[in-house]
Amino acid sequence: MKQRTFKALTTTLLLSILVAVCTGQAPLAPATVHLRTRVAVPDVPGGFRVACRTEQWNPSETAIIICDMWDRHWCEGASRRVAELAPQIDRVATIARDKGVLIIHAPSDTISHYGDYPGRKLAKDAPRAANLPEGIDRWCNWKDDAEQEVGYPIDHSDGGCDCRPRCPESQPWTRQIGTIEIKDNDAISDSGVEIWNLLEQRKIKNVILMGVHTNMCVLGRPFGLRNLSRFGKNAVLMRDLTDAMYNSTMPPGVHHFTGVDLVVGHVEQYVCPTIISTDLTGDPPFRFKEDRRPLVVFLSAESEYSAAETLPDFARELEFEHGLACQIIQGSTEKTGPDRHEISGMEILAHADLVVVYARRRAFPVDQMKYLHEYLDRGGPLIGLRTASHAFDSRGSGPAGHTDWPTFDPDVLGGNYRNHYGAGPVCTVTRAAGAGNHPILTGIKLPLTSNGSLYRTSPLAAATTLLLVGAIPGQEPEPVAWTNQYNKSRVFYTSLGHPDDFRNAPFRRLLVNAVRWALDTP
């Protein structure tokens, strides 16, 4: 019986290969996507941690829905950003289409323009699905009670136009913007029922939403993220290929693109995961030309000091109070396991104005670490926190295709990490002799104390400038914070960074000062 089964399977496989060869079609390779979500931190109001996971998607089981990329919007600012976004959406759609992904164009309220397009027939002719969900034909205001209770992170009750003077509301759209090509094998529909039927007909499990606007149509349309997610599809937002309707004079009174980031974070925590276009293009994520906020990228991957929970809160302070853009590239927080040395998304370092490293004994993939080397080669500034002194020294535990940088500490940080003293004694931190009025120390009340074990870091490289020293009873003081120059890169490092330190106002002021010094901003 087993022999007959084996022969049958072998015959089927050979026939599949023969068909592929004869038709010139290669078997579809799975697409690797990196899904990002936000997980609430217990007992910390508003606290969250970034979580990432990798999945392999079969292109034939995947669709992209391009939402409301109209030829014109009533808000001139929105129209301008759509025009800038459209070429990148078209490029991603072309790449995905060539891989076998179904492209669905959904320019709401303009479908009559496409009456004789093959894509309309494709959508209309899909048979009624046996599992057609109740509510797939209607707008969805909230995915569930949890999302409704927290509400939106931005106030778009004024319509979200950020132009001065405000543009008058109307419905000037007539079709999808022409920059995005519609192929004959693409579908065209703005109907939740039609799109669901089409997804079920094609046995599609994974759906990527891109387009505008996330806080309105991308979330709420009948075919939007809320409905697709709550009805069981593996729905994701392509977070770099979207925009929001947000007027920055409305609460919370932040930059327009900070408002977009807040909406993306809301999606990740309450609706569904997000991915970036890099997963398909291999290039750095898209960024609007108008987004001139200095970009701070956090590389977080450690399991000792809860950096995955403390860094997001600090990043939000930088966004809200200092007008910076922040992105967290989160690696594994596991002490062991196959994903310990994995990370994705370092392509964004091509756009970074500052990199903050809080990682411990990781050997990241070679094709990811190259972006850190390129960033430093162009003179990008860097801040290292606590375990950054041994961030890339895995002691040879990384798998094939991954790389260490065991000399990162002396090479880049200018340090000399030699383990640490035992936990327990409170560390008292004071100004170093000769630190003078260094701008990083401006406004910091000293001494400060830390519950983190004191790192043994001396002697420092000759080119460093020592700012703070730490002491515990019965031991010689050790350097705790200093600056260094790595080629053209400004570098700041501190061995502080225990979770309790982030609740300490002088420490947070130290980090803010270091960020501003590294960015060379007043």
Segment 64-72 mean pLDDT:
99
Q: What is the mean pLDDT of residues 358-378?
A: 98
pTM: 0.92
Beta-strand relationship, 489-494 and 478-486: antiparallel
**Amino acid identity of 209?**
L
pLDDT (tens digit per residue) in 481-491: 999 999 999 99
Token pair 């809080």 is at which residue? 358
Q: What average pLDDT does the segment 5-30 reach?
A: 49
Question: What is the spatial order of strands in the sheet that 478-486 belongs to?
Answer: 325-330, 295-301, 354-359, 382-385, 489-494, 478-486, 465-471, 427-431, 448-450
Residue 70 corresponds to which tokens in the numbers above? 């109209």
Domains of the chain in sequence order: 31-281 (3.40.50.850), 295-519 (3.40.50.880)
What pLDDT, on the 0 to 100 scale, is given for residue 143?
Answer: 98
Q: What is the pLDDT of residues 148-190, one digit of tens each?
A: 999 999 999 999 999 999 999 999 999 999 999 999 999 999 9
CA distances from 50 to 106, 269, 296, 365, 431 (A): 30, 9, 16, 20, 34
d(CA 342, CA 56): 15
- Region at 456 (left for phi over 0; alpha for psi -120 to 50; beta for the rest): beta
Closest-CA residue to 411 (of 435, 371, 382, 451): 382
User: How confident is residue 510, by pLDDT bands cut at 50, 70 and 90?
Assistant: very high
The order of strands in the sheet holding 102-106 is 48-57, 31-40, 274-275, 234-242, 206-211, 62-67, 102-106, 187-188
Residues 497/307, Cβ–Cβ less than 8 Å: yes
C-alpha distances out from residue 267 to 36, 151, 256, 399, Å: 10, 11, 17, 34
Q: Which of 39-53, 356-370, 374-388, 403-417 has the lowest mean pLDDT?
A: 39-53
Q: Do 354 and 296 contact (CB within 8 A), yes or no?
A: yes
Model confidence at 403, in pLDDT bands (50, 70, 90)?
very high
Q: Indicate whether 23 pLDDT > 90.
A: no
CB 280 within 8 A of CB 95: yes
Q: Is it the case that residue 21 has pLDDT exceeding 70?
A: no
pLDDT of residue 8: 45
Mean pLDDT of the chain: 94
pLDDT tens figures, 73-128? 999 999 999 999 999 999 999 999 999 999 999 999 999 999 999 999 999 999 99
Residue 26's SS3 state is coil
pLDDT at 204: 99
Q: Is the peptide bond before 373 cis (omega within 30 degrees of 0)?
A: no
Stretch 231-253: mean pLDDT: 98
pLDDT band at 33 (very low <50, low <70, confident <90, very high): very high
Two structure tokens written together for 432: 């170093």
The pLDDT value given to residue 131: 98
- In this structure, how many other beta carbons lie within 10 angstroms of the beta carbon of residue 94? 15
Cβ–Cβ < 8 Å for 163, 75: yes
**In whole angstroms, what is the distance from residue 269 CA to residue 301 CA?**
20
| Percent of the chain whose pLDDT exceeds 70 | 95
- Does the pLDDT at position 3 exceed 70? no
Q: Is there a contact between 305 and 499 (Cβ–Cβ < 8 Å)?
A: yes
- Predicted local confidence at residue 44, as pLDDT: 82
Question: What number is the average pLDDT over the span 262-273?
Answer: 98
> What is the pLDDT, as a whole number, of residue 26?
52
Amino acid at 515: V
**Which has the closest alpha carbon to 315: 42, 511, 37?**
511
Burial grade of 407 (CB within 10 A; 0-12, 13-18, 19 or more): exposed
Looking only at the bridges linking them, the beta strands covering 465-471 and 448-450 are unpaired
Q: Which of 42-51, 203-212, 255-264, 315-324 has the lowest mean pLDDT?
A: 42-51
Q: Look-up: residue for tokens 């982030």?
A: 502
Distance, CA of 255 to chain centre:
18
Can you give the length of the chain in residues? 522
157-185 b/e (C-beta count within 10 Å ≥ 16 → b): eebbbbeeeebeeeeebebbbebbebeee
Tell me the residue type at 6.
F
pLDDT of residue 40: 92
Three-class SS state of 254: coil
pLDDT (0 to 100) of residue 277: 98
The yes-or-no verdict on residue 390 having pLDDT over 70 is yes
pLDDT tens digits, 234-243: 999 999 999 9
Whole-angstrom CA distances from 148 to 217, 317, 411 are: 16, 25, 50
Whether 22 shows a pLDDT value over 90: the answer reads no
pLDDT-wise least confident of 10-24, 275-289, 362-376, 410-424: 10-24
CA dihedral 491, 493, 497, 503 (to 10 degrees): -70
User: Residue 56, class by beta-carbon neighbours within 10 Å (0-12 exposed, 13-18 middle, 19+ buried)?
Assistant: exposed
Q: Residue 102: which region, alpha, beta or left (left: phi > 0; alpha: psi -120 to 50)?
A: beta
Model confidence at 27, in pLDDT bands (50, 70, 90)? low
Collect all residues with Cβ–Cβ distance below 8 Å to 37 and sequence separation of at least 6.
Answer: 50, 51, 52, 53, 268, 269, 273, 274
Q: SS3 for 279? A: helix
Pairing of β 206-211 and β 234-242: parallel
Between CA 52 and CA 235 the distance in angstroms is: 15
